[in-house]
Structure 1
């Protein structure tokens, strides 16, 4: 049985998986025609997100290493002489949930100019040195400036800077949870939480969800039985369901968390994109809430900078000690770039441009999937497409992959076996509207083909 592995020296995680696969084919460990394990199984072995494995499979197929057969699985190509040659890429990757790149923003030029300005400035040399694990005072002050536009409790001494939201989430899990502790989350939740929780030995308890997000009655039921140490929630443009929790629902959850002493991890990457303000958990229950904000979803994933507002300054130092033991510090140059963009208003301009592009793309998706059931936020860059009764999301995702479109089924986010039959479509990675439209039309056409086939069988 082939054991998946990754090449650590690869520049990106998914490329490490591809290079490991390619090397094993070349060495004869994997033979032509051999069936590969399911993507979910590979993700579990390598302890990565399912979306990372999906990207790796797409790239391996593009290189001619593997081929998918609808209904049977993915196999090493029978014609090894073809392996390693460049084939036409898949039509579209709708699996990675990244913001679109607005045509009005030249990120290469902007990053280059800002880095040069930072390094050539009077304090530029400091950006080349080690920093405090909580972040330099000037950068924490800039973070407070950005966050205070959405919440009232964003004091600089309560803010810790991390190298991206995932490292911050892992540090929070490490700080708040011991092996065997329970962590509550929505029955459909962000895969990165599953990975972080697993590394910390936490037991993740599912909370039922409805059109407004987490259901307070189910959270109360869990707390009466055995209160979890913490509750994880993505309250604004939830990933994957795209639901924004109304303030009344947030207040109900806060009452339950206070009653049972449950800490709240508020992962809020999409809140800056929202035009309609909803009060954050960090304002409703500041003494319980660890608020996590990142620039990855509202500016660019290239800035590996995230901010955590702790309940108090002492908790900030506790979190900084965990970061010191794991990542040591956020990347100083990128953090300085983020701070300058905040102070100069560039972050606001980019966020507005992304929001405008998201609205255009969501409008296009709404036209293509008119007549189908889906949940979306006009300001966000993903949607949650529900499949007709009797359809299986995993099977539909395989058909879509064979047709050249990569999407993520509900099972990638599910904490229970009885998950919704739906798929997440990420609209931001397509380079332009025309490419996105082609991919969405391909999916809509595939849905119609399957529907016709099912009617014929009946």
Structure 2
């Protein structure tokens, strides 16, 4: 077992507290300059007042055309603009989809560990969520089959690429098995591809295997910046999207902010978005190397080389509550992992550590050394 060196001791005395809770796109060189340049071009447009003072609804035709080309890299082809919306963020999309796709008496199936907001968004939409068992390859197709047989499932929500919180990347074979279950039971698929652009060698989205069933989502929060408050939705077809829009034409809560839409379109058109994504991938890789150096030898870490976080197995001597409290005493802020658990699921021996919440590599090292010390103390 690695010993805590004097160099480690100095790092553990770094500035506190060190936040290891939230995951977001890390700050990278050049990002601010790209944004300043893009905003300067937007400020010089004759239609600036309209951009700032009028609804942009779900993006202009130009916004959608630029987005379609960009998303086409993940979708294996450019989606028709009649299927695509630029919206006010993933949560806006999910609340609308949950409320419109899940009739009264039906349920949403989701990985038993999942994005923390799923339960809250379903509650706001008047829907309920059922947990589906997972393994190292993500959602289990046999477990989804059983859930669909036993309950009136209207939709399945899944985060197959860089799963939150376990970091698993669902194989192409498993994706196809999930599709087969959904087709058999006539279930809509809501695919959250939040990490798609930053994940190296990511399998093709489920949407490429079952476009007729899949509502595909891609947010800007991990590949550009969470503050842009924007995400794309690609519907199964134009008719289904028209039905969705027709039922809630005046609900502006999910419209995209005009300035965000204009900036995102500019960043994609100029190639800046690609540069930012590449630099984010490099930064994530560097932080993953630090995690492997410090936590890897302990044999308790689950991750992938493109993940914004790691998923730890705690030694049996630690309860989650005591570990979170002990970390806080060491100046490291952690989130209780039960926020990722669908009701009916309990997490007893895992914790998620964000690698991108610490502002600097030095802060990250300091936080990880403190965590390593706590883990070693009970091994």
Same fold (TM over 0.5): yes
Cα separation, 2, equivalents of 1:175 and 1:118? 35
Task: Please state if 1:399 is matched with 2:326.
Answer: yes
Task: Please state if 1:439 is matched with 2:367.
Answer: yes
Aligned to 1:424: 352
| Paired residues, number | 362
Aligned to 1:217: 142
Residues 249 and 442 from structure 1, CA distance in 2 versus in 1: closer, same or farther, beyond 3 angstroms?
Answer: same
- 1:27-54: CA deviation from partner (whole Å, max 9, x where unpaired): xxxxxxxxxxxxxxxxxxxxxxxxxxxx
Aligned to 1:5: none
Decide which moves more: 310-319 or 142-151: 310-319
Aligned to 1:39: none
| Matched-pair contact (CA < 8 Å) for 1:254–1:281 | yes
Cα separation, 1, equivalents of 2:324 and 2:67? 39
Aligned to 1:344: 270
Task: Please state if 1:294 is matched with 2:222.
Answer: no
| Matched-pair contact (CA < 8 Å) for 2:194–2:222 | yes
| Matched-pair contact (CA < 8 Å) for 1:153–1:283 | no
Aligned to 1:117: 41
Aligned to 2:335: 408
SS of the residue 2:130 aligns to:
strand
The TM-score normalised by the length of structure 1 is: 0.75
SS of the residue 1:269 aligns to:
coil
Question: 1:346 Cα deviation (Å)?
Answer: 0.8
Residues 187 and 323 from structure 1, CA distance in 2 versus in 1: closer, same or farther, beyond 3 angstroms?
Answer: farther
Matches within 5 A, 1:31-430: 90-102=16-28, 104-107=29-32, 109-131=33-55, 133-151=57-75, 152=77, 154-321=79-246, 322=248, 324-327=250-253, 329-369=255-295, 370-415=297-342, 416-430=344-358
| Matched-pair contact (CA < 8 Å) for 1:188–1:410 | no
Cα separation, 1, equivalents of 2:273 and 2:348? 36
Instruction: Give 5+ residue unaligned stretches, structure 1.
Output: 1-87, 452-458
| Matched-pair contact (CA < 8 Å) for 1:179–1:200 | no
| Matched-pair contact (CA < 8 Å) for 2:319–2:348 | no
SS of the residue 1:350 aligns to:
helix
| Matched-pair contact (CA < 8 Å) for 1:290–1:310 | yes
Residues 226 and 387 from structure 1, CA distance in 2 versus in 1: closer, same or farther, beyond 3 angstroms?
Answer: same
Residues 200 and 372 from structure 1, CA distance in 2 versus in 1: closer, same or farther, beyond 3 angstroms?
Answer: same
| Matched-pair contact (CA < 8 Å) for 1:282–1:290 | yes
Question: 1:297 Cα deviation (Å)?
Answer: 0.4
Question: 1:212 Cα deviation (Å)?
Answer: 0.1
| Matched-pair contact (CA < 8 Å) for 2:98–2:122 | yes
Structure with bigger gyration radius = 1
Cα separation, 2, equivalents of 1:155 and 1:404? 50
Instruction: Give 5+ residue unaligned stretches, structure 2.
Output: 1-13
SS of the residue 2:224 aligns to:
coil
Cα separation, 1, equivalents of 2:328 and 2:190? 34
Question: 1:179 Cα deviation (Å)?
Answer: 4.5
Decide which moves more: 234-243 or 147-156: 147-156
Alignment RMSD (CA, Å): 1.9
The structure, 1 or 2, with the larger RCO (C-alpha pairs under 8 Å, 6+ apart) is: 2
SS of the residue 1:354 aligns to:
helix
Cα separation, 2, equivalents of 1:261 and 1:139? 32
SS of the residue 1:285 aligns to:
coil
Question: 1:449 Cα deviation (Å)?
Answer: 2.6
- 1:261-287: CA deviation from partner (whole Å, max 9, x where unpaired): 000010111010122031111111011
- 1:237-264: CA deviation from partner (whole Å, max 9, x where unpaired): 0110100100000000000000000000
Question: 1:106 Cα deviation (Å)?
Answer: 4.0
Cα separation, 1, equivalents of 2:258 and 2:329? 43
Question: 1:180 Cα deviation (Å)?
Answer: 4.1
